[in-house]
Amino acid sequence: MHDADCIEDSGDEMIGASDDDADSVSSNWDSYGDLPLTLDEYETTLARLDEEWNANQKKLHKLIYMRGLHPMMPSWWRMNFKMWGVTQPHLDDVFTPKYSKKRVAIHAYGHELAAAKALESLFYLSQTVTDYEEIGYQDKIAPTIVKSIRNYIKWALRDAGISKRRTQPTMLVRAYPPDFRDDVDSEGSDFAPSPVSTNGDHDPDDDSEDDEAQRAARRFTLAVSRDLERRLISMGAQWRQLLEVDRGKKGKAFVAPPPTLYAFAVVQHIVLLASHDSSSATNPVVVVERVKLNDRGQWLWNALTLALPVNMARDALTGMWETGLVVAEDEGEEGDPDL
């Protein structure tokens, strides 16, 4: 089991120091503000995570857990979000201190305004989903969520100069209709929590109806679990095959560590954020978070939760240029609508 301190990459603790690592993807903020007071509580949560979660999955889990306490955006983005109220004092810790040059999880390689606009599009998502739900446009919810996440991924890769079409994907976005059924009769890991919550207090006369509803929910959950698991494991196998080289008597090795893969499984207004460590086919597919997008009051936290894995996946790709598997975007290149 990794310590919480090991989840973040090590970084300079003197915020604003002249030798602060501005190129660090995720500097260590564990000593910042009120974070030390929360870390003990988080240690208890961390202890419940599966031993097979890798460092990136634990890091993402930690960042989501620490929303509001852990700086996640550069301080100079504040004014871009003034109309959203993100500049209020109680949200100060969402941004870096003004004197810090440390890299945070959500950042831009290129145009800062475009980065802010891309994130702002995720701010609107909870509002839009809730509006659709209230006026009965249920069929518009999942497509809207899928389109929003894909557009954010498209921005993130373009911002780093990465061709989405010609680079092996590390992110998957897929919607599952309520009547989705898995056609392949196989044993899945049943990793995904049911998107249907159940109430323990019920009338015994309703047992038969409840049992059938629970069985239907169970079948749906297994179908989604197996389909998503197969897709991520297949993506991982492709990465291992592309990264593997034969070194003769020394056997086979990877030219670079296979990346952590991320999936956004959209079920009505819920997004299941899943992940797979592609270094081995035996690594489990895990659900890191369950995001309910039909709550207006959670618009900021929901947006950050969706943006974090996209930025992490994009940053990992920027460290793989030398493998030849990450291809630079050509000027004027159009993105593939399917991820």
DSSP per-residue codes, 143-161 = HHHHHHHHHHHHHHHHHTT
d(CA 44, CA 29): 19
Token code pair at residue 6: 């090991």
Specify whether the CB–CB gap between 291 and 133 falls below 8 A.
no
- Strand-pair partners of 244: 254
Token pair in block for residue 105: 């999880």
- For residue 275, give the DSSP letter: E
Its pTM surpasses 0.95: no
pLDDT of residue 191: 53
Q: Are 237 and 280 in contact (CB under 8 A)?
A: no
Cα gap 78→76, rounded to integer Å: 5
The 3-state DSSP class for residue 73 equals: strand
Q: What is the predicted pLDDT for the residue at 2?
A: 38
pLDDT profile of the chain (339 residues), mean per 10 = 37 37 52 64 66 90 88 89 78 84 90 94 97 96 98 98 95 94 56 40 56 84 93 97 78 89 97 97 94 94 97 96 92 51
Question: Pairing relation of β-strands 171-175 and 260-267?
Answer: parallel
Measured CA to CA, the distance from residue 219 to residue 310 in angstroms comes to 30
Interval 124-158: pLDDT, tens: 999 999 999 999 999 999 999 999 999 999 999 99
C-alpha 249/C-alpha 268 separation (Å) is 52
CA-CA distance, 254 to 26, in Å (whole number)?
Answer: 24
pLDDT at 16: 36
- Kindly report the number of other CB atoms within 10 A of residue 189's CB atom: 13
Tens digits of residue pLDDT in 300-320: 999 999 999 999 999 999 999
- Residue 201 has which token pair? 């207090």
E strand segments, the chain? 171-175, 244-246, 252-254, 260-267, 270-277, 285-292
112, burial (CB in 10 Å: exposed 0-12, middle 13-18, buried 19+): middle
Q: What is the pLDDT of residue 50?
A: 64
Q: Is 58 left (phi over 0), alpha (psi -120 to 50) or beta?
A: alpha
Quote the tokens at residue 171. 């992110």
